[in-house]
């Protein structure tokens, strides 16, 4: 039989070997590694009978069925964090292709399988660029985002051989619904002995870029008292962010990247650049936390006589996934003989953006130890087999039910 769990895992291994770096998996937007991964996925989509296209941002889209009927979309992302595991994103793409592989007859409703080019937002700091482009929600100013090497998104897309102007054509995609399978990235399913679960909601998140500008100087001759050390200020800020989140119920806040300029052992740091990622399930609490963190950062900068630039890159509110679609997914889980556990996601997913244009639902697959964003990510073949059975049953059932009604979700 085509489209087995073993096939999915073998393909995840093959994709996991395609990286920007030797010895670890890193695949960011608009890189040759992402293009090579896209080529491999595109071939698998064609083998499954899908007609494949690639859009300007690099999303790989495979389609089957009547072109005039809004499709049921299955997908997830192909980009990764640095030193990633093999399943975050890739598993959802591979499950979707395997479901098409398994369908004995032509799919009961038009299907689109999408491998999004950017969900993690690692290269340009803004997450969900792939699904935003696919959903007709791409913001023109994002083309001016700059990566760590000073390359704009516009230039990165041109170098990848695509036309960035195409991203500015705002199209209403006309989708029936979106269903994404993804590793849980948390411990709940493992703790409860369940192979899969149905996602109820996705936490809101705010990502910001912070720059601290101090004064560089000679490490040997500048007295300690008169210094404006940008890294010392940044260090105080990192610890303050950690303390703030520890003291706020339900809040997580992370400085995941810190670079220092000029970056030499005998030069006082003149500039520090920090990323900030703040998340909460409640939008009000998230807004208050971001304001509180900004206040804290300003206080630290003032006390140390350094300048602070605080720039919000993207804020996405919490999203409740579509109740009726979730029910239909839960019915498929039950029909396969498993408890339909409902659980919320602290991680962000492409479903956040898709839920702005059509009803969206997600199936979580148990992962070992809840470990993710880590090369030790792992899933069991038996759980992948359950996810495949559930998704296949859901897709076939959608053919009988018809497209889900639109408008039952919010961005
Ligand atoms: C994606 O993995 C995110 O939650 O940042
Ligand atoms: Mn991720
Ligand atoms: Mn992911």
Report pLDDT digits (tens) over 149-168.
Answer: 999 999 999 999 999 999 98
At residue 61, φ and ψ (nearest 5 deg) are -125, 120
pLDDT single digits (tens) 353-401: 999 999 999 999 999 999 999 999 999 999 999 999 999 999 998 866 6
Q: Using a CB cutoff of 5 Å, list residues around ligand 3, an ion.
A: 88-89
Same domain, 268 and 119: no
Q: Read off the DSSP letter of residue 142.
A: G
Asked if residue 403 belongs to a domain, the reply is no
**Which ligand has the nearest atom to the CA of 345?**
1
pLDDT single digits (tens) 65-91: 888 899 999 999 999 999 999 999 999
pLDDT of 404 over the 60 cut: no
Same domain, 369 and 273: no
Residue length of the chain: 411
User: How many Å lie between the centroid of ligand 1 and the Cα of residue 117?
Assistant: 14
Same domain, 259 and 114: no
The pLDDT, as a whole number, for residue 405 is 44
pLDDT single digits (tens) 348-360: 999 999 999 999 9
Asked if residue 407 belongs to a domain, the reply is no
The pLDDT, as a whole number, for residue 67 is 87
Contact 154, 167 (CB under 8 A): no
Same domain, 246 and 195: no
Give 169 or 358, the one with higher predicted confidence: 358
Same domain, 194 and 222: no
pLDDT single digits (tens) 85-95: 999 999 999 99
User: How many Å lie between the centroid of ligand 3 and the Cα of residue 370?
Assistant: 13
Ligand 1 pocket, residue 120 CB under 6 Å: yes
Helix (H) or strand (E) holding 22: none
Same domain, 182 and 219: no
Residue 181: strand pairing partners = 363
User: How many Å lie between the centroid of ligand 1 and the Cα of residue 88?
Assistant: 9
Specify the 3-state DSSP secondary structure of 118: coil
Same domain, 171 and 293: no
Categorise residue 28: left if φ over 0, alpha if ψ from -120 to 50, beta otherwise: beta
Same domain, 220 and 178: no
Omega prior to 262 cis, within 30 of 0:
yes
For residue 279, the ligand 1 atom closest to its alpha carbon is 4
CATH code (residue 310): 3.30.70.360
d(CA 318, CA 411): 8
Enclosing domain of residue 238: 204-316
The pLDDT, as a whole number, for residue 403 is 54
d(CA 245, CA 117): 31
Number of compact structural domains in the chain? 2
CATH code (residue 90): 3.40.630.10
pLDDT single digits (tens) 299-325: 999 999 999 999 999 999 999 999 999
Asked if residue 406 belongs to a domain, the reply is no
Last-in-domain residue among 293, 316, 339: 316
For residue 372, the ligand 1 atom closest to its alpha carbon is 2
Ligand 1 pocket, residue 348 CB under 6 Å: yes
For residue 121, the ligand 1 atom closest to its alpha carbon is 5
The pLDDT, as a whole number, for residue 65 is 86
The pLDDT, as a whole number, for residue 192 is 98
**Which ligand has the nearest atom to the CA of 84?**
2
User: How many Å lie between the centroid of ligand 2 and the Cα of residue 227?
Assistant: 39
Last-in-domain residue among 289, 316, 343: 316
- Taken in order 282, 134, 122, 93, is the CA torsion positive or negative? positive
Asked if residue 65 belongs to a domain, the reply is yes
Ligand 1 pocket, residue 347 CB under 6 Å: yes
Asked if residue 401 belongs to a domain, the reply is no
CA distances from 272 to 216, 226, 256, 259, 363 (A): 11, 18, 13, 6, 40
Asked if residue 164 belongs to a domain, the reply is yes
Same domain, 328 and 304: no
Same domain, 36 and 145: yes
As a whole number, mean pLDDT of residues 41-70 equals: 95
* Residue in 76, 85, 119 to alter for ligand 1 test, most ligand atoms within 8 A of Cβ: 119
CA distances from 97 to 12, 201, 209, 281, 409 (A): 12, 25, 36, 31, 26
User: How many Å lie between the centroid of ligand 2 and the Cα of residue 101?
Assistant: 26
**Which ligand has the nearest atom to the CA of 183?**
3
d(CA 370, CA 337): 23
Same domain, 68 and 151: yes
Closest C-alpha among 114, 318, 119 to residue 200: 318
Last-in-domain residue among 316, 350, 367: 316
Contact 228, 214 (CB under 8 A): yes
Burial class (CB in 10 A: 0-12, 13-18, 19+), 67: exposed
Same domain, 329 and 293: no
């Amino acid at each position: 039989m085509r489209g087995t769990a073993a096939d999915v895992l073998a393909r995840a291994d093959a994709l996991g070997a395609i990286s920007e770096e030797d010895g670890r998996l890193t695949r960011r937007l608009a890189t040759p590694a992402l293009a090579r991964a896209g080529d491999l996925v595109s071939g698998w989509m064609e083998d499954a009978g899908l007609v494949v296209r690639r859009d300007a941002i690099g999303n790989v889209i495979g389609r089957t069925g009547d072109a005039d009927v809004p499709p049921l979309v299955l997908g997830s992302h192909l980009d990764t964090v640095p030193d990633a595991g093999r399943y975050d994103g890739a598993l959802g793409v591979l499950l979707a292709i395997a479901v098409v592989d398994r369908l004995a007859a032509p799919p009961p409703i038009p299907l689109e399988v999408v491998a999004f080019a950017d969900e993690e937002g690692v290269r340009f700091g803004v997450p969900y660029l792939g699904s935003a482009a696919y959903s007709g929600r791409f913001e023109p100013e994002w083309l001016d985002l700059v990566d760590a090497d000073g390359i704009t998104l516009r230039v990165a897309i041109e170098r990848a051989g695509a036309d960035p102007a195409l991203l500015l054509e705002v199209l209403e995609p006309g989708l029936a619904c979106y269903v994404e399978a993804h590793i849980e990235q948390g411990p709940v399913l493992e703790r409860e002995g369940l192979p899969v679960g149905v996602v109820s909601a996705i936490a809101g998140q705010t990502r910001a870029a912070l720059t601290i500008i101090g004064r560089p100087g000679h490490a040997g001759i500048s007295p300690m008292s008169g210094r404006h050390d940008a890294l010392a200020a940044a260090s105080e800020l990192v610890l303050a962010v950690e303390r703030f989140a520890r003291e706020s119920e339900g809040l997580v806040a992370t400085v995941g990247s810190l670079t220092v300029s000029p970056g030499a052992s005998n030069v006082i740091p003149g500039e520090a650049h920090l990323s900030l990622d703040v998340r909460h399930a409640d939008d009000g609490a998230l807004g208050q936390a971001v304001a509180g963190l900004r206040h804290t950062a300003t206080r630290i900068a003032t006390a140390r006589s350094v300048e602070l630039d605080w720039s919000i890159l993207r804020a996405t509110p919490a999203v409740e996934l579509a109740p009726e679609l979730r029910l239909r997914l839960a019915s498929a889980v039950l029909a396969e003989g498993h408890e339909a556990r409902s659980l919320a996601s602290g991680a962000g997913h492409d479903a956040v953006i898709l839920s702005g244009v059509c009803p969206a639902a997600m199936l979580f697959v148990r992962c070992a130890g809840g470990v993710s964003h880590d090369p030790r990510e792992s899933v069991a073949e038996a759980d992948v087999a359950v996810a495949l059975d559930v998704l296949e049953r859901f897709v076939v059932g959608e053919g009988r039910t018809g497209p889900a009604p639109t408008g039952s979700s919010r961005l």
